[in-house]
Amino acid sequence: MNILIDIGHPAHVHLFKNFAKYMQNKGHNILFTCRDKEFEIYLLEHYGFKYKSFGKKYKTTIGKIFGLIKFDLMEILEAIKFKPDLFLSAGSMYAAHAAFFYRKPHFAFEDTFNMEQVNLYLPFTKTLFASKVPTGISIDKNKLYQYNGYHELAYLHPNWFKPNENVYKELGIDENQEYILIRFVSWNASHDKGQNGISNEQKEKLIDNLSKRVKVFISSEAPLPKKWQKYKLNAPAHLIHDIMAKATMFIGEGATMASECAMLGTPAIYVNSLEAETIREQEKYGLLFKYNNGIGVLNKALELLNMPNRKEHFSQKQKEMLSKKRDVTQMLIDYVNSYFKVDI
């Protein structure tokens, strides 16, 4: 089989990497397509995948409209050369449109249900994989495949992920030293419009107070001010999940990283006015704490730092969650096997 996987975010590389490796080991051909946005190309090269980059994404409204046409055409042309039997994505309109043009199935994963994007790819999608959490959105039942799990369990399930014990060396700290990972987003994504997170004043207070207690590392989509450069996370991008797994806690504005930490048993404080059902469910497991803005975040962080038996407490919460969720990579392997009626 020839399988084309289109990605639009570094997390999508992780979402499909174990499936891609498995299929390659079974003799199938995998091609990733992407736009040069953040760490996608670095990760694809690190894992040794064949890929085609279509260049930089556009940030302006007019640029995004032009990009939709441009990247659609580039995806179609690449598909003509590669001859895919299957298109895979995490909600890519480019993969969906190319699959429709080429008369091949497109399988998509969806977790945010940002309908302005969903409406652009769903009509051209054969199967939509989504977690069994309520969305309040009506989707054609013939297309929807709901599973009891999360995106992140495609790559953070214990069947596929074991933390790198050398991560402390990469961070330049002693293995007994506690550290907090803080993540700031750029607020440029379409789903970020009208939303908010931690104000600059709140960031200042948060960093100043926490850095007196533990080591602080900051990951930021936007450039950091000079005064915070000393906290910048400089470790290789492919180690981010190892860093999350060993962190004392996570505080951030990005839903993906917050959810990933929850999967790893690292307490996550998610600060964003944007709502998501998966986040609400992870709150119920006691692995994640949601705030619409920065008010109360520092107090919660200090409460967690002072919590007795913190590591054991959240490890148990993680085990409870995993006992009720599926290995998403194995689910995808089984589905593709069944759909194409091949032994993989």
How many Cβ atoms sit within 10 Å of the Cβ of residue 277? 18
| Cα angle for residues 286, 222, 50 (degrees, 5° grid) | 85
pLDDT of the residue at 13: 95
CATH code of 204's domain: 3.40.50.2000
Together in a domain, 135 and 188: no
Residue 245 phi/psi, 5° resolution?
Answer: -65, -35
Together in a domain, 129 and 146: yes
Q: Amino acid letter at 59?
A: K
Residue 127 domain boundaries: 2-157+326-340
Together in a domain, 314 and 175: yes
CA R_g for the chain: 20
Return the closest-CA partner of residue 150 out of 259, 250, 59.
Answer: 259
Average pLDDT over residues 3-15: 94
Together in a domain, 24 and 143: yes
Q: 85 lies in a domain? A: yes
DSSP assignments along 66-114, one per residue: HHHHHHHHHHHHHHHHH--SEEEESS-HHHHHHHHHHT--EEEEESS--
pLDDT of the residue at 343: 63
Contacts with 239 (C-beta within 8 Å, 6 or more apart), sequence order: 164, 167, 170
What percent of the chain clears pLDDT 70, i.e. is strictly above it? Answer: 94
pLDDT of the residue at 76: 96
Neighbour order of strands in the sheet with 2-7: 51-56, 29-36, 2-7, 86-89, 106-110, 127-131, 144-147
d(CA 236, CA 251): 20
Together in a domain, 53 and 146: yes
Together in a domain, 113 and 197: no
| Tokens 């999940």, located at residue | 241
pLDDT of the residue at 148: 93
Together in a domain, 315 and 251: yes
Res 112 pLDDT > 80: no
Q: Which helix H or strand E contains 63, and what residues bound it?
A: helix 61-82
pLDDT of the residue at 188: 55
Together in a domain, 122 and 184: no
Token pair of 178, please?
A: 């506690």
Each residue's pLDDT tens digit, 120-178: 899 999 999 998 876 666 788 889 999 999 989 999 999 999 999 899 999 999 999 99
How many structural domains compose the chain?
2
Q: Which helix H or strand E contains 16, and what residues bound it?
A: helix 10-25
Q: 247 lies in a domain? A: yes
pLDDT of the residue at 44: 96
- 313 or 255, which is more confident? 313
Together in a domain, 315 and 232: yes
| Tokens 């995808």, located at residue | 332
Together in a domain, 238 and 189: yes
d(CA 24, CA 29): 6
pLDDT of the residue at 195: 57
Q: 312 lies in a domain? A: yes
Each residue's pLDDT tens digit, 257-283: 999 999 999 999 999 987 777 888 899
Each residue's pLDDT tens digit, 28-49: 999 999 998 778 999 999 999 9
Together in a domain, 184 and 125: no
Together in a domain, 191 and 221: yes
Q: 162 lies in a domain? A: no
Q: 149 lies in a domain? A: yes
Each residue's pLDDT tens digit, 170-201: 999 999 999 999 999 864 554 455 556 789 99
